[in-house]
Amino acid sequence: MSQRPNPLPRLYCWRTNLVHIPVLAVITAVCGSVSLLVSFFDKSGRAQQRIARLWARGVVWGAGCRITVRGAENLHKCPVAVYASNHTSYMDTPVVFAALPFQFRILAKKELWPIAFIGWYLDRSGQIPINTANPRATLSSLGVGVKALRSGMPLFVFPEGARTTTGNLQSFLSGAAYLAIRAQVPLVPIALSGVYDLLPIHTRHLYPGELTVTVGEPIQTAGMTVRQTDELTEKLRTAIGELHGQPVPVESERVVSLA
């Protein structure tokens, strides 16, 4: 996928307004409504997950893109794990749902819950809201995540906590590493490429192209303690940077620790 031009040609702006947005709105409304209805009968969440994956594939298609998954074999090496990727765009979530072939739960910012259809799905399907501005609420949410992992449910986390403004990796919050260590499950690094150029932060017009999901080798946490959370967080950040083909400089600001 070529780098997004700036300014974006008017053809892409008009195509987004007249084609992509109406198609994505219809797909989201239909799948969100069906998922809401199904949630009253399916307590396991499996049917909702399948609907979410159908929605995600529809959104990727409706955005004029296709996804290539590299290292897909690493998705099947662990029955339960914490999966973590860089956060580049609002389109990251459908890309992740389209790429991961199993049921999982996500830790997402609580601000998404009031959004129609998306918030309904998040609430009814058992996703976990997290308030990064409140340390006590964050720890409570992480406790829910640990219980989910111990019950056999994989989790997905965006450890940056917010979308990047440049396309480059930001500092990582330590929640993903904390969850993996507390539950003693592997931490699987994932790098998303092309999604930033598709829809960067503070934009609303799409630049369609090839999207790539690269899955790395699981990072084992057996025997680690929460005192090693920051160490594991930096290991995760380095792994995602290498998968993404980005150098990962040592930053002056410390990783935010929840231990």
Q: Whole-prediction pTM value?
A: 0.90
Instruction: Give the DSSP per-residue string, 123-169.
Output: HHTT-EEE-TT-HHHHHHHHHHHHHHHHTT--EEE-TTSS--SSSS-
Question: What are the backbone dihedrals phi and psi of residue 82, each rounded to the nearest 5 degrees, phi first?
Answer: -100, 120
pLDDT in tens, the chain (259 residues): 568 998 999 999 999 999 999 999 999 999 988 988 988 888 788 898 999 999 999 999 999 999 999 999 999 999 999 999 999 999 999 999 999 999 999 988 888 788 776 777 777 778 888 876 666 667 778 899 999 999 999 999 999 988 999 999 999 999 999 999 999 999 999 999 999 999 999 999 999 999 999 999 999 999 999 999 999 999 999 999 999 886 555 443 333 333 3
Angstrom distance (rounded) from CA 250 to CA 244:
17
